[in-house]
Amino acid sequence: MDCIKNELSIASICRNHPILKENDEFKIKYINILEFFYNKYCNNDNFAKQNLSIYKNIILEKCLLKYVYRADKVNKYLKDSIFLKINKKNGKWRIFSYRFILAIDCLFICAFDNEDLGKTIISNLKLMSNDFLGFFINKKYDALYLMLYKEKNLTPNFYDIDFLLSKWWINKNQLSKPIKKIVVTANMSAGKSTLINALIGKKLLQAKNEACTSREYRIINKSFEDDLVSAFDKTLKLNVSLNELKNDEKKGLDKIYIGTYFNGLEDKQRFCFIDTPGVNYSENNEHEQLTKKVIEEKDYDKLVYVINSNYLGTNDDAQYLKYIIDKVKDKEIIIVLNKLDNFDIDEDNIKESIDKVYKDLQRYGLKNSKVCPISAYAGLLAKRKIAGEELSKIESRKLENYIYQFEEPEYDLSVFYEYDINILVKNYINKHKNHEKDSYLQLLNNTGILSLEYMLSK
Ligand SMILES: Nc1nc2c(ncn2[C@@H]2O[C@H](COP(=O)(O)OP(=O)(O)O)[C@@H](O)[C@H]2O)c(=O)[nH]1
Ligand SMILES: [Mg+2]
């Protein structure tokens, strides 16, 4: 499974690609060369196939329908992409070549995680683009190979490859980070899916007032935003729509991996959030079985238990919490008290509710757990707004209301976290300060979501 997780964590490098400014004819030639290498070296490799298809979709855009693959012309096309362009730089005319950009694309599609194949492809590119610059160019190909696969920082006067090279390396670094797996569990409708959405800063999972998650979701973060969602259940798909994910739900497969960029803390680790169906003792037994299987298999590092603060001390919670405490003795358990935006501070007291939860936990035998108060929904709206996402009219109105509501000191949930967490959150806010976004950042701070994120990353 680990290689699947790696493939899901790799972000596509072709958004804002330099080739996008060329004309259709040139783009078609360029993609022809990529397809040639794909056919020659990884015809059966699904990851490469999907990757090539993303290049076609993003680079060719509207001329995708005009695209024809011409194996017989690839050699000529390659020459064109090497000599065709004359570019004015610093007031001087120079030959502009796509050869090294093309090399990076070929290697990214075919051999990102396969150094030997990378070497073979570089040799092939050398042969194919053998030209009057001969020896000099071959040395540059060798240098490129070292820069991509051996972390050598050579930068020997390459023109225009920085953009792709940096994306290549952000991806490589991502794969070297350990994965921290966090399972989120609760009785139904406590806000598990909303909480995971808030942590990743996107409306990815369905959140509804009914038990709707019917399978296990494992969501892994990509290295940077490429506006694509990848998924693996039986096969790997690098570009799925949210609708496809929803429809997949009906097919009854029990586990799905998803890769997407998280709008969250920049971190030295990768997170994998695990969403399970709610456990509800009277209704769907299948959901309960599936969830218990995930809990008991223990393929996670931490467990987050979500309590709906609007219904404190229910029998369902008592029963399920006791089960968790009994089964999960060897992992950190974090208790999240959600939906605190619904609290009426004239009648309820947040501090007292938190204390009540601590007392219950003590009675059930859970001593060292932290109780983290949050509003997942308000946190999610704030994050989506900060990321520049367009909210619906109703969402915008709710967001504005939350801003006023959370300005009241009684709703500042960040005060319930420890000193060291508060310092980290403060640093985060200062670093991201931006006149237009300040009120949303402040809201995000007060919803407790950032504090919780730092707790999870500890
Ligand atoms: N007011 C409020 N509603 C929330 C919050 N978190 C979740 N909800 C709502 O609670 C319902 C159930 O949420 P969902 O995430 O689907 O719960 P799950 O069944 O535990 O996955 C949805 O209507 C959510 O919009 C919150 O922090 N505040
Ligand atoms: Mg759910």
Out of 188, 344, 377, mutate this one to test ligand 1's pocket (max ligand atoms within 8 Å of CB): namely 377
> Which has the closest alpha carbon to 341: 370, 382, 305, 313?
382
Q: What single DSSP character describes residue 429?
A: H
Shortest-distance Cα residue to atom 9 of ligand 1: 191
Residue 88 has pLDDT above 70, yes or no: no
Residue 77 has pLDDT above 90, yes or no: no
Q: For residue 409, what are its two tokens?
A: 């000191």
Q: Is 208 in the pocket of ligand 1 (CB under 6 A)?
A: yes
Residue 93 has pLDDT above 60, yes or no: no
How high is the pLDDT of residue 348? Answer: 82
pLDDT band at 83 (very low <50, low <70, confident <90, very high): low
How high is the pLDDT of residue 190? Answer: 94
Residue 216 has pLDDT above 60, yes or no: yes
**Residue 289, amino acid:** Q
- Please list, in sequence order, all residues whose beta carbon lies within 8 angstroms of the beta carbon of residue 457, skipping any fewer than 6 positions away: 180, 265, 267, 269, 271
CA distance to 187, 195, 368, 417, 452, per residue, from 324 (Å):
12, 19, 14, 23, 20
From the CA of 376, give the closest atom in ligand 1. 27
Residue 249 has pLDDT above 70, yes or no: no
Distance 142 CA to ligand 2 centre (A): 50
Per residue in 357-404, pLDDT tens? 999 999 999 988 999 999 999 999 999 999 999 999 999 999 999 999
CA angle 274, 280, 282 (to 5 degrees): 160
Per residue in 199-215, pLDDT tens? 999 999 887 755 456 78
Q: Looking at mean pLDDT, say which of 90-99, 165-174, 282-291 comes out highest.
A: 165-174
Q: Is 207 in the pocket of ligand 1 (CB under 6 A)?
A: yes
Shortest-distance Cα residue to atom 28 of ligand 1: 339
Between 144-153, 169-178, 292-301, 362-371, the lowest mean confidence (pLDDT) is in: 144-153
Quote the CA–CA distance of 258 and 26 in Å, as a whole number.
34
How high is the pLDDT of residue 266? Answer: 81
Q: For residue 456, what are its two tokens?
A: 């999870």
CATH class in words for 179-377: alpha beta
Q: Percent of the chain having pLDDT more than 90?
A: 64
CA distance to 89, 173, 205, per residue, from 27 (Å):
22, 30, 36
Tell me the mean pLDDT in the region 106-128. 94
Quote the CA–CA distance of 425 and 372 in Å, as a whole number.
14
Out of 183, 187, 189, 350, mutate this one to test ligand 1's pocket (max ligand atoms within 8 Å of CB): namely 189
Distance 191 CA to ligand 2 centre (A): 7
Ligand at minimal distance from the CA of 305 is: 1
Q: Is 176 in the pocket of ligand 1 (CB under 6 A)?
A: no
Q: Edge-to-edge strand order for the sheet containing 236-237?
A: 236-237, 230-232, 255-260, 216-221, 270-275, 179-185, 302-308, 332-338, 370-373
- Please list, in sequence order, all residues whose beta carbon lies within 8 angstroms of the beta carbon of residue 398, skipping any fewer than 6 positions away: 377, 381
How high is the pLDDT of residue 106? Answer: 96
How high is the pLDDT of residue 323? Answer: 94
How high is the pLDDT of residue 458? Answer: 87
Distance 376 CA to ligand 1 centre (A): 8
**Residue 55, amino acid:** Y
- Please list, in sequence order, all residues whose beta carbon lies within 8 angstroms of the beta carbon of residue 140, skipping any fewer than 6 positions away: 100, 156, 158
Q: Percent of the chain having pLDDT more than 70?
A: 90
Distance 279 CA to ligand 1 centre (A): 15
Shortest-distance Cα residue to atom 2 of ligand 1: 339
Per residue in 5-33, pLDDT tens? 789 999 999 989 988 988 898 899 999 99
Per residue in 336-363, pLDDT tens? 999 999 998 888 899 999 999 999 999 9
Tell me the mean pLDDT in the region 101-114. 95
Quote the CA–CA distance of 402 and 381 in Å, as a whole number.
9
How high is the pLDDT of residue 352? Answer: 94
Distance 288 CA to ligand 2 centre (A): 13
Q: Is 447 in the pocket of ligand 1 (CB under 6 A)?
A: no
Q: Is 256 in the pocket of ligand 1 (CB under 6 A)?
A: no
> Which has the closest alpha carbon to 151: 127, 168, 133?
168
Q: Does residue 1 or residue 110 have the better pLDDT?
A: 110
Residue 80 has pLDDT above 80, yes or no: no
From the CA of 375, give the closest atom in ligand 1. 27
How high is the pLDDT of residue 211? Answer: 46
Q: Is 338 in the pocket of ligand 1 (CB under 6 A)?
A: yes
Quote the CA–CA distance of 328 and 331 in Å, as a whole number.
6
Ligand at minimal distance from the CA of 203 is: 1
Distance 195 CA to ligand 2 centre (A): 9
Q: Is 193 in the pocket of ligand 1 (CB under 6 A)?
A: yes
For the chain, which residues make up each domain, given as ranges? 2-176, 179-377
Q: Is 188 in the pocket of ligand 1 (CB under 6 A)?
A: yes
Tell me the mean pLDDT in the region 56-64. 92
- Using the structure block, give the residue that is written with the tokens 């709707």: 212
Q: Is 403 in the pocket of ligand 1 (CB under 6 A)?
A: no
Q: Is 381 in the pocket of ligand 1 (CB under 6 A)?
A: no
pLDDT band at 90 (very low <50, low <70, confident <90, very high): low
**Residues by chain with Cβ below 5 Å of ion ligand 2:** 192-193, 213
Per residue in 152-170, pLDDT tens? 666 656 667 888 998 999 9
Shortest-distance Cα residue to atom 1 of ligand 1: 339
Ligand at minimal distance from the CA of 194 is: 1
Q: For residue 400, what are its two tokens?
A: 């504005």
Query: Please, what is the average pLDDT of the chain?
Result: 89
Distance 394 CA to ligand 1 centre (A): 16
> Which has the closest alpha carbon to 199: 115, 155, 265?
265
Give the number of C-alpha atoms closer than 13 A to the C-alpha of residue 445, restricted to the C-beta side: 23
Q: Is 380 in the pocket of ligand 1 (CB under 6 A)?
A: no
* Contact criterion met (CB below 8 Å) for 301 and 270: no
pTM across the whole model: 0.92
